Structure 1
Amino acid sequence: MTISLVLVGKTDNHHLEALIDDYKKRLSHFVNFEIIIIPDLKKRKNMEIELQKEKEGELILKKISTSDFVVLMDENGGEYSSTKLAGWLQKRMNTGLKNLVFVVGGPYGFSQEVYARGNQKLSLSKMTFSHQMIRLFFTEQLYRAFTILGNLPYHHE
């Protein structure tokens, strides 16, 4: 299985980028993991919010295949503990799923077309975090899930 993380905009903090890269490298021992970055829209400061979401949505949808299982990282999504996330991932792997795609939208969220394409919504917390931080938190939780599945000593309960 390949797990992709689709992001709108690059990470502009080199400290966060280094931590994300560290977890990405660690994940390579368990799964084919890739980060796909969609560039920020040009002249977006002059755009209406709905138009910005539509244009970002078009770019997001171009990165998703019809056979992909798509999880939208959304504040209104379901929440899992780390162990529940690990179990959820195991179930996806057991089905023979080839591509699992997680998507972090732009600053205003997703277009209706992206919501319609998503198979599931997932929230990392009821608190609000910057899109930059979500990238790190998600990548770390994905790594944690695989260490739980592998009975490795990273996660403590």
Structure 2
Amino acid sequence: MRLKLLWVGKTQEAWVKTGIDEYAGRIKRYAPLEILEARDEKGAAAPAMRERECERLGKLLPKGARLVVLDERGEQMTSPEFASFLSKSRDQGIQDLAFAIGGAYGFTDGFRAQAFKSISLSKMTLTHQMVRVFLLEQIYRGFTIMNGEPYHHE
């Protein structure tokens, strides 16, 4: 199973880039990982920004990929439940599992409707920049749980 992370905009903060690099490197021991950035939209009203950004994300989505969107209205899972989701996706023969993180104004309804699953990392509002690190860490944690490694403590 190949992992694709799609997100809007370049990572701005050096400390966020460091976290992304750290966890992306760890994940690559378990599965191929590719990070794809869609250009963010500037200077338009929120609905237009959302529409253009989702068009760009859609173009980055590999054909036949199973799409998971990170959305505040999505399902919340424990880390073991997320590990189980990753494991089941792998065992079902999913070739490309793509996680999408929207821009500051999120996703259009149409883009969200393409998703196999919608996940929320927290009930709190998180910046779309920090969510990148949190998602990567949870993917790494999921793989360590799947492999019975001691990173995750219950």
The normalised TM-score by structure 1 is 0.95
1:85 aligns with 2:115: no
Superposed CA offset, 1:105-133 (max 9, x none)? 01111112211211110000101111111
**Pairwise CA RMSD:** 0.9
CA distance in 2, matches of 1:34, 1:5: 6
- Where does residue 101 of structure 1 map in the other structure? 98
The one-letter amino acid of 1:93's match is R
- Where does residue 150 of structure 2 map in the other structure? 153
CA distance in 1, matches of 2:62, 2:26: 26
- Where does residue 35 of structure 1 map in the other structure? 35
Q: Percent identity?
A: 37
Aligned residue-pair number: 154
1:15 aligns with 2:15: yes
- Where does residue 56 of structure 2 map in the other structure? 59
- Where does residue 130 of structure 1 map in the other structure? 127
Task: Tell me whether 32-41 or 19-28 shows the greater mean CA deviation.
Answer: 32-41
The one-letter amino acid of 2:8's match is V
Consecutive unaligned residues of structure 2, counting only runs of 5 or more, are: none
The normalised TM-score by structure 2 is 0.97
After superposing on structure 2, the runs of 4+ consecutive aligned residues of structure 1 that deviate more than 3 Å are none
- Where does residue 141 of structure 1 map in the other structure? 138
Consecutive unaligned residues of structure 1, counting only runs of 5 or more, are: none
